[in-house]
Amino acid sequence: MSLGRVLRNGTVAVLAVLWLIPTWLLVVNALVPSKSYSGGPHWLPEGFGLFDNMSQAWDKAHLGPALANSLLYAVVSALAAVVVASFAAFATVVMPVRRRVLWFWVIYSGTLLPLQVFIRPLFLSYAKSSLYDTQIGLVLIYAAIAIPFAFFVMRNYALTLPREVVEAARMDGASWWRLFWQIHVPLTRSAMIAVFVFQFVAVWNDLMFGITLTTSRNIRPIMAALADLQGNYSNVGPPVVLAGALLVSLPTLVLFFSAQRFFVSGLKIHR
């Protein structure tokens, strides 16, 4: 075995261990019964209070409504981003649109700035309108921030598709609308699923917009509700907080593993 391969495998192993350590601590300390928690991190399992900790987190943080809200935000926003990005990618790659590079950078530039720079103008504009502390307000901002990256993936994937198929369809008299739905969408299905999974996870894990643009419990997303468990007025211990974090991560894990095949192939850029 070559030295380069040994170094590569060793680096991957070290990174895997570094990733597994906090995951191990999360699971082990979520298992500790909250009443017997000593105040320090547990490296080995001591007792089994996972379900009781999850029950406390569910009740005290009102995770049920928040989970439904996040499911709404993640599904609608991710679907909107996929649809808009698919249309944009089709227009800038397949259709004879002028200044394609310019349109690419206009749309993709939405990913170049950190999301924190949008907080103040968004908060002020939402506060002056009827969008603050509303579900439609969160859906709009989540869809808007998801579109640029979704367009980037869809465009790069569309560039790998054979041009001959499009040219043959146009010669047969197919309209752009028919070409999009009957040829472009089936060929880019794996990329669309990959984009949906990625944006679903991103919206589900968002905390910044959830605590900035909402105040009501019936509006806030799941991460904002979970943050209340470790707030200044919370009286639950770390095992309950960790069990709640483990609980709310299950939907994203299930989605990712169920769509893993599409996720990997959709993000792959062919030469």
Tell the residue number behind the tokens 């007792």, with chain if given: 47
Which pLDDT score, from 0 to 100, does residue 267 have?
A: 52
The answer to whether 49 and 239 have CB atoms below 8 angstroms apart is yes
Arithmetic mean of pLDDT, 57-76: 90
Which pLDDT score, from 0 to 100, does residue 115 have?
A: 82
Q: Which of 162-171, 179-188, 191-200 has the lowest mean pLDDT?
A: 162-171
Q: Give the domain ranges of the chain.
A: 56-266
* pLDDT tens track for 97-146: 788 788 888 887 777 778 888 888 888 999 888 889 999 999 999 999 99
The answer to whether 137 and 122 have CB atoms below 8 angstroms apart is no
pLDDT at 72 over 80: yes
The winner for highest mean pLDDT among 101-110, 128-137, 182-191, 257-266 is 128-137
Domain 56-266 has CATH 3.40.1280.10: no
Which pLDDT score, from 0 to 100, does residue 79 have?
A: 95
pLDDT at 209 over 50: yes
pLDDT at 233 over 50: no
With bands split at pLDDT 50, 70 and 90, how would you rate the model's confidence at 70? very high
pTM (2 decimals)? 0.83
* pLDDT tens track for 150-165: 998 888 888 887 777 7
Encoded tokens for 37: 């928690």
Distances, alpha carbon 80 to alpha carbons 29, 191, 268, in Å: 38, 15, 22
